[in-house]
Amino acid sequence: MGLNLTVSHLVQRYNGKAALDDCSVAFTHGAVYALMGPNGSGKSTLLRACSLLETADSGEIKYYNSDNAFSLPHDLSLRRRICLVLPKIGVFNTSVFKNIAYGLSVRGFGKKSISQQVYEALDAVGLNHKSKQNALTLSSGETQRLGIARAMVIKPEILFLDEPTASIDEENTRIVEEIIKGLKSSGRTMIILTTHDREQALRLSDSVVSMRNGRILNQQQEVPF
């Protein structure tokens, strides 16, 4: 049974200003959620808190399935089950293959298993032909796809995507959207993404979560702005 996630009364302040202000929302395993709102609404801050990249000032983040609830931030095993892909992907100065393989290597997978899983991820994002190329030479769109492949290869139960198509061209945007749809159809991974594109949110998600001024306005299939 996959992970579910609830956020209750989350508050996060930077220099005295609330980036998250009494934020409460629920996410269910296997679904795709789009967080929408203007710049500064708290979308990225919410993703960083939920992915354990930052610790909120107050409130509760709870991961659970039918058998267990996970205590945060102490249950480090949870970090192996979730993954955040940021808008600007940091890559290593080595091949595309080795960039994707890194997460499996540090988890102790054998060479044969790594090779199989990396090529599956490369195929899923359309970068098989780039496997031996230095990752630093990729275009911005290809780099974004590399970042998603690097996340996919560890098979996270929850994948956070912060503005996954913000700075890439139309063709790469189409490819990234197809990748998200493929993950959605598998039913194995919950996806929570941020976007400014209303039509994209409706195309990709099962539920749209609207935010403004650090607050959740509503959670529905239509966007009110």
Q: What is the pLDDT of residue 80?
A: 82
If you average pLDDT over every residue of the chain, what do you get?
A: 91
Cβ-proximal residues to 180 (8 Å cutoff; 6+ apart), any chain: 32, 161, 164, 191, 193, 204
**Assigned domain for 39 exists:** yes
DSSP string, 73-94: TT-GGGGGTEEEE-SS----SS
135 found inside a domain: yes
Q: Residue 2: its pLDDT value, please?
A: 81
> Does 72 score more than 80 pLDDT?
no
Mean pLDDT along residues 179-202: 92
Q: Which DSSP string do the residues of 142-177 spell out, in sequence order?
A: HHHHHHHHHHHTT--SEEEEESTTTTS-HHHHHHHH
CA atoms of 43 and 35, how far apart (whole Å): 6
Domain boundaries, position 187 = 30-44+77-220
**What pLDDT is attached to residue 75?**
62
Tell me the whole-structure pTM to 2 decimals: 0.91
How confident is residue 209, by pLDDT bands cut at 50, 70 and 90? Answer: very high
- In a domain? residue 66: no
pLDDT tens per residue across span 21-61: 999 999 999 899 999 999 999 999 999 999 989 999 999 99
Is residue 197 in a domain?
Answer: yes
Q: Is residue 36 part of a domain?
A: yes
Q: What is the CATH number of the domain that holds 104?
A: 3.40.50.300
- How far is Cα 132 from Cα 77, in angstroms, rounded to an integer? 32
Report yes or no on 71 lying in a domain. no
Residue 216 within any structural domain of the chain: yes
Strands 215-220 and 69-70: unpaired
Overall domain count for the chain: 1
Q: Report if residue 82 sits inside a domain.
A: yes
Q: How many CA atoms lie within 13 A of 140 on its CB side?
A: 12
pLDDT at 102 over 90: yes
pLDDT bin (cut points 50, 70, 90) of residue 74 is: low
pLDDT value at 83 more than 70: yes
